[in-house]
Structure 1
Amino acid sequence: MVNGKILLVDDNKSILSALEILLQFEYKEVTSISNPNQISSYPDLQSFDIVLLDMNFSAGVNTGNEGLFWLREILKKAPHTSVIMMTAYGAVDLAVRALKEGAADFILKPWNNERLMATVRTAYELRKSKKEIHNLKQKESNLKQVINADKNLMVGQSKALTNVLNLVAKVAKTDVNVLITGENGTGKELIARELHRLSSRKDEVFINVDMGSIAENLFESELFGHTKGSFTDAKEDRAGKFEAAHQGTLFLDEIGNLSLQMQAKLLSSIQNKSVVRVGSNKPINVDIRLICATNCNLEKMVSDGLFREDLLYRINTIHIEVPPLRERDDDILILADFFLKKFAQKYDKPGLKINNLAQEKLMEYPWPGNIRELQHTMERAVILSDGNVLKPSDFLLNTKSNLLLDHQPLTLNEMEQQMIFKALEQHDGNYSAAAEQLGISRQTLYNKLKKKGD
């Protein structure tokens, strides 16, 4: 017996009885109704695999319009159900109309039992196929949502970041290749995800590939795929990252780490818009939006013979430079607060705040590791915190970096500010003790802090 549900709709009770007798031994559940008006309010209509529907219900009417009307109503409520139309008036044009409206098949009365059973079995298989396709599409949609999920959206309001996001918004709607550059930890992947989110491909996948982590002997297999038996561990056919990103976005991170040999293979695929799996000679067309990122100076690498100039031109239609955190002063405390809330929730430490001196410490620090370093710093501070207020001593920073960067020499005013801040940090915000260490009065310390905006 097939685990299927069938609904019979016919105003002739003799027809219903005959169909019930014929179908009840092969299908788990057979239900019948004689009034088609019950269809609109029938509970769980979508649970039926098959509906056998008469085409004429009014006496003396044989146009089939009533059946077509109820066919449309059924498919509105149960689009994946297979509907078989039944009529004693078999005209070819009527059958064609029914099939165009979405019917699975057409049966003439009186019917041949074997032919009717074969038609119902075919309709049942069609229903199963529709369900499987629907479930696969649902799983694919869910998978894309998981892959594209990104909780760390772009946070900040500085002019430097706003300029970048304005450029992203202009470029996102196109399919041009984009090169994103910037120091480590500046959020290049987040910019790439923002480009994808604002693009026409937003409902497709975003595939992220760390080019620096791919071994050279696995490069072709990872990016282009392979066929079964093409090398020792190739136990089955496998699609590469290019195929996986078809109709979506492919993000190649750290592209500056590629060897010249791998650059040549990558260039060929980008130019041809196709890939050839390892072990095959059949090209596979791919439709992707390509975004690359690096913290390297690719133009210098080109001049040094370390990066192909033609590849740089291919990936660099639009260039987006992500500013370092030290150039986003207005965003440091905004990001700190964002990470504070995130990790306070994660580690169940509600109500945490950063006091003014700690905020000053965060603002003074040059953040050589950029947003990634700030994120780790905030997480560590939340984990190790004992009270509800984070003080300067709760933030463990690389003090050597307080000398800032070589290309940013300190002024006397900046050196004085750092000395004051360090003294306050060492004495946990005790102004009197800090002033004594600095050899100035408490009032002078207050005046100097007020002068620099505290």
Structure 2
Amino acid sequence: MKQPGRILLVDDEEDILVAGKLLLKRHFEDVEICNRPENIPKLLGDFDFDAILLDMNFGPGESSGQQGYLWLEKILSIEPQAVVIMITAHGGVDVAVDAMKRGATDFISKPWQNDKVVSTVSTAVKLGRSRTEASALRHTNKCLAQLSNQHAQPIISQSAKMKDVLSVVQRSAPTDANVLILGENGTGKEVIARAIHSQSQRGEQVFITVDLGAVSESLFESELFGHKKGAFTGANEDRIGRIQAAEGGTLFLDEVGNLPLHLQAKLLAVLAQREITPLGANKPVPFNVRIVAATNTPKQTLLDDNLFRRDLLYRLNTVEVTLPPLREREEDIAIIAEHYLAYYSRKYHKSELSLDAGAIEVMRRYQWPGNIRELQHVVERAVILCQSSVLTSADLQLAAHDQTVSPPAEKAPSASVGKEPTDDVGFNLEDIEKQTIARALKTYRYNISHAAKALGLTRAALYRRMEKYGF
């Protein structure tokens, strides 16, 4: 069978061209020949060649190889990824080696041996296709990174506290320092992480997110470090881990505070050594990734050695950013609401909507235990259900929500979550579920991971129920 590949043979001797084409056509699908090197630019414009065989000398009496150097340089200027094999007369090995230093891939000596020519060209074709695939992958990754950055949410703020946060982001982003973002659920930790990435020197590279709160302990190493085929039952093929997938870019470790201590030790070792060993592999693989981590766990809890490794904390928080809750950013509530109002008006094809003064005042008084995420859901629901172009406080449906914020508590007794529902709920299952979820959220101060664990749900399942019941 012929090997896929398009070859270009450039030589001024007709005998060489005929013999070369007859030989190569038996092994490769397409072979082009050229006896005038000045036609090379046109041929490169018309075809994509996997390998090019280029003579070192053109014209009678030429033996210096200067013409070969000249055309090699022109080919590489037109197509930097071109795979060029130099053809030189016997005894001109030094000239060919010099050409390889200038960018040629290999050389063939005249008179050649057919087996040697076929073997050399076959290797060159494989190299050319690998370079083409690698170049395509680089362009694809660049496009994906650009698309990812384009869909990042804007940072909407005019409060003094957020100006301080953005100042830290602006100063730390251009560096490669690890950043730890602290803040309650829904305060926009991922938005800040993406801002750090986009303002860094890695901004055109990929941004990979890992929700450590949703990764099971048994899959932690496979998810982050990858695995080789056959490493464990079900590993039917090699899989690259998230750390390697983020090569050259930024890895965002969300909910890092929920990581068990024994997995914290593994993460610390990887970050300290800057290399990973995929499951089933023997050799470590170095990586070049910037780490941005986030957690809703309070700083005091992170300093408890029984819950979080202090050496890992110091590794992660070279720069520390603490996001204020929305209730402490009163001046931002209205402009954030206006932003989502405009967005969901377009999404649901509603006419231009606005908020009346009463609605804005209710939002300012409300404590927003779910922060910006809750505000977003409230506005979306209001846009969907509204019957007028002006949204009132009634459209927001905030009156039914608890207007107070629970006092800080690192962990509430688990028994409070398991209490029987009150008698006034009756036996309606949805009412019982709604009340239980509300009690769990309030008990754990809207820490989704802890509330979901107490309820025996996944984070995703809890989010779906919160949306269902309007939390």
TM, length-normalised to structure 2: 0.72
How far off its partner does 1:167 sit?
A: 0.4
SS at match of 1:47: coil
Q: Is the deviation greater in 210-219 or in 192-201? A: 210-219
- Quote the residue 1:419 is aligned against: none
How far off its partner does 1:249 sit?
A: 3.1
Larger Rg: 1
Superposed, which structure 2 residues align to 1:285-300 within 5 Å?
Answer: 285-300=286-301
Name the CA shift for 1:69/1:267 in 2 (closer, same or farther; >3 Å).
closer
Determine if the alignment matches structure 1 residue 177 to structure 2 residue 178. Answer: yes
Gap runs ≥5 in structure 2: 409-471
- Quote the residue 1:81 is aligned against: 82
Is this contact kept in 1: 2:358–2:392, CA < 8 A? yes
Number of aligned residue pairs: 407
* Equivalent-residue separation in structure 2 for 1:306 and 1:51 (angstroms): 62
* Equivalent-residue separation in structure 2 for 1:18 and 1:301 (angstroms): 74
* Equivalent-residue separation in structure 1 for 2:105 and 2:191 (angstroms): 47
Is this contact kept in 1: 2:152–2:191, CA < 8 A? no
Superposed, which structure 2 residues align to 1:430-445 within 5 Å?
Answer: none
* Equivalent-residue separation in structure 1 for 2:266 and 2:390 (angstroms): 54
How far off its partner does 1:321 sit?
A: 0.9
- Quote the residue 2:338 is aligned against: 337
User: Alignment identity in percent?
Assistant: 46
* Equivalent-residue separation in structure 2 for 1:276 and 1:107 (angstroms): 40
Letter paired with 1:209: V
* Equivalent-residue separation in structure 1 for 2:167 and 2:319 (angstroms): 13
TM, length-normalised to structure 1: 0.75
* Equivalent-residue separation in structure 1 for 2:395 and 2:284 (angstroms): 57
Name the CA shift for 1:339/1:85 in 2 (closer, same or farther; >3 Å).
same
Q: Deviations over 1:351-373 (max 9, x none)?
A: 44445554444444443322111
SS at match of 1:319: strand
Name the CA shift for 1:350/1:32 in 2 (closer, same or farther; >3 Å).
farther
Letter paired with 2:341: L
Letter paired with 2:5: G
* Equivalent-residue separation in structure 2 for 1:186 and 1:75 (angstroms): 51
- Quote the residue 2:429 is aligned against: none
- Quote the residue 1:347 is aligned against: 348
SS at match of 1:190: helix
- Quote the residue 1:130 is aligned against: 131
Superposed, which structure 2 residues align to 1:143-158 within 5 Å?
Answer: 144=145, 150-158=151-159
Is this contact kept in 1: 2:354–2:391, CA < 8 A? yes
- Quote the residue 2:398 is aligned against: 397
Name the CA shift for 1:341/1:281 in 2 (closer, same or farther; >3 Å).
same
Is this contact kept in 2: 1:298–1:312, CA < 8 A? no
Letter paired with 1:201: R
- Quote the residue 1:65 is aligned against: 66
Name the CA shift for 1:183/1:118 in 2 (closer, same or farther; >3 Å).
closer
Is this contact kept in 1: 2:142–2:206, CA < 8 A? no
- Quote the residue 2:321 is aligned against: 320
Letter paired with 1:123: A
* Equivalent-residue separation in structure 2 for 1:134 and 1:360 (angstroms): 55
How far off its partner does 1:68 sit?
A: 1.8
Gap runs ≥5 in structure 1: 408-454
How far off its partner does 1:59 sit?
A: 4.9
Q: Is the deviation greater in 298-307 or in 313-322? A: 298-307
Q: Deviations over 1:178-230 (max 9, x none)?
A: 22111211101111222222233334443322232233444455445556666
Letter paired with 1:395: L
- Quote the residue 1:379 is aligned against: 380
- Quote the residue 2:162 is aligned against: 161
* Equivalent-residue separation in structure 1 for 2:217 and 2:106 (angstroms): 56
